[in-house]
Structure 1
Amino acid sequence: MRKHILSLSLLLICMNVFATETKLMVRAKAKDAKFVGSSIGGAHVIVRNTLNGQIMAEGNTTGSTGNTDLIMKSAHERYTQLSDNSTAGFLAVVDIDEPTFVSVEVLSPINKKNARVQASTQLWLIPGKDILGDGVVLEIPGYVVEILKPNTHQYIALESIPKSGLPIEANIVMMCGCPIEKEGVWDSGLMEVRAIVKKDGEPYAEVQLDNPAQNTFQGILGITTTGYYQITVYAYGAQTGNTGVDMVNYVVRD
């Protein structure tokens, strides 16, 4: 028994001796925007051995969203590096003793469940052959849409609703948290933002939401009767194909 344990220990030691530390930089980048980093809570990264499903490395991207002028305003030639040492990423460090085929999965942004996107790819890791710089960059399409008014499951007295109507308000940002505003880098004038309203399960109204301030989209819904209401706010960018949705239910009572 002792000889068996000793042999196993020696085998494990030998495996560790031959294993080579290998680094893989993983980044999540919002479509038509910047990198997903600490300002929005990061993207969650999982690196797995595709052969057996073993998790080899796991963690969140941290750091800044990157250089706006370089990423969004400059022409990019081949081999142009878009990141620097402060740009958000997750450095996976694995020990491998032979070429290993891995899957890289990203959940982003990790703290925004209604907007979270799963993106993945696969590649070979070669012992000692680091993949750094921009590394593996996974694109995250969409917008983060959060309805602020009315609140989820809010009970609203009909008599309390202004004659002008019920305010609808949503906060919308890029998937990296980058700001949206009129004539900004991410121009709200190029987006369509509307609220689709149902009452008691039936179509009731549609309301266009305007952008009076950075990230803020507002509209007014005329309501004259009580009932169970549902508001779905969507954002759509025709040029990029980015989309985002949030939904709330509320009650208008006597």
Structure 2
Amino acid sequence: MKNIVVLFLSLFCVFSYAKETKITVRAKAKDAKFIGSSLGGAYVIIRNKINNTILAEGKTSGSTGNTDLIMKVPKLRESSIADDTTGKFLATLNIDEPTFISIEVLSPFNHKQAQAKVSTELWVIPGKDILGDGIILEIPGFIIDILKPRTHQYITLNSISGKPFQIQANIVMMCGCVIDKGGVWDSDKFETKVILNKDGKFVGESNLSLVSTNLFEGNISISTPGNYELFVYAFDPKTGNTGVDKINYVVY
């Protein structure tokens, strides 16, 4: 009987120590705002680092945050850059001892060609919530979608011979924030270019210019048939932030 009581008390102590522990995870675009509902969210996976068991997973939701607070107000120690509406994933972990976890974020979740994976590791203690701004992971890059030409488009040489071949791309920050002339994300401060390969060899490059919000256009010369590979990139020389999209098309 005594042994049964001791065993019961031991089990009671173990299970009574298990506590819900809340962690706020946010994904923030490099040199921009948070990834929230407007872009389809960032996907968060939290694992026990020891056995790789998934403890929580889901997508961030909410707004991209306050532009002035994030981008313009000087940051002081312990100052917050998020509020209650700012995009986040609130995880609830059920742990009964200090646990070393990994947090992995895939973002932007709905734009695979621009998707980046970032991660971090930390200890969590039962009942010791990490809230407020929480854990912020920075997502580098730009979201770039080449609009012209189309993927694997077949183009006759006669239709473009002697004419400028138009390139068009939509470029936004990784949070979906707009790029515009003179805006918070000023198109004049970014380098936007096309690189063109034919049959695996470099044949030329050309600049792209903003024609309307997020929309960039340019031209490049094409004079021979072949299998073409086209890269469009955006580069911020101040921060080193870089994004790329590429497609293939055929000139015959």
Instruction: Identify whether the pair has TM-score above 0.5, normalized to the shorter chain.
Output: yes
Normalized against structure 2, the TM-score is what? 0.93
Distance 2:85 2:147 in 1: 32
Structure 1 residue aligned with 2:104: 105
Q: Does 1:170 align with 2:183?
A: no
Tell me by how many angstroms 1:226 deviates: 1.6
Q: Distance in 1 between matches of 2:15 and 2:83?
A: 32
Instruction: Tell me how far apart the structure 2 counterparts of residues 80 and 194 of structure 1 sit (CA, whole Å).
Output: 38
Q: C-alpha deviations, 1:146-198, integer Å up to 9, x for none?
A: 11110110001222227431110011111111011111100111111111101
- Secondary structure of the 1:114 match is helix
Q: Distance in 2 between matches of 1:44 and 1:113?
A: 12
Q: Which runs of 4+ in 1 moved over 6 A?
A: 10-14
2:221 is matched with which residue? 222
Deviation at 1:71, TM superposition (A): 0.5
Q: What is the TM-score of this pair, normalised by structure 1?
A: 0.92
Q: What is the one-letter code of the residue matched to 2:212?
A: A
Q: Tell me how far 1:83 sits from its aligned partner.
A: 0.8
Distance 1:161 1:13 in 2: 78
The residue that corresponds to 1:236 in the other structure is: 235
Correspondence for 1:140 = 139
2:142 is matched by which residue type in structure 1?
Answer: Y
Match of 1:157 in 2: 156
Q: Is the 8 A contact 1:51 1:101 kept in 2?
A: yes
Q: Which residue identity is paired with 1:210?
A: S
Aligned to 1:210: 209
Gaps of 5+ in 2: 1-8
RMSD over aligned Cα, in angstroms?
1.9
Quote the Cα distance in structure 1 between the aligned partners of 2:214 and 2:194: 16
Structure-2 separation of matches of 1:152 and 1:39: 26
1:13 Cα offset (Å): 8.0
Residue-by-residue CA offset, 1:201-245 (whole Å, 9 max, x unaligned): 221110100011111111011222221111111111010110001
Stretch of structure 1 that moved more, 153-162 or 243-252: 153-162
Q: Distance in 1 between matches of 2:79 and 2:198?
A: 52
Q: Distance in 2 between matches of 1:170 and 1:44?
A: 26
| Equivalent residue pairs, number | 246
Gaps of 5+ in 1: 1-9
Structural mapping, 1:1-254, within 5 Å: 16-161=15-160, 163-253=162-252
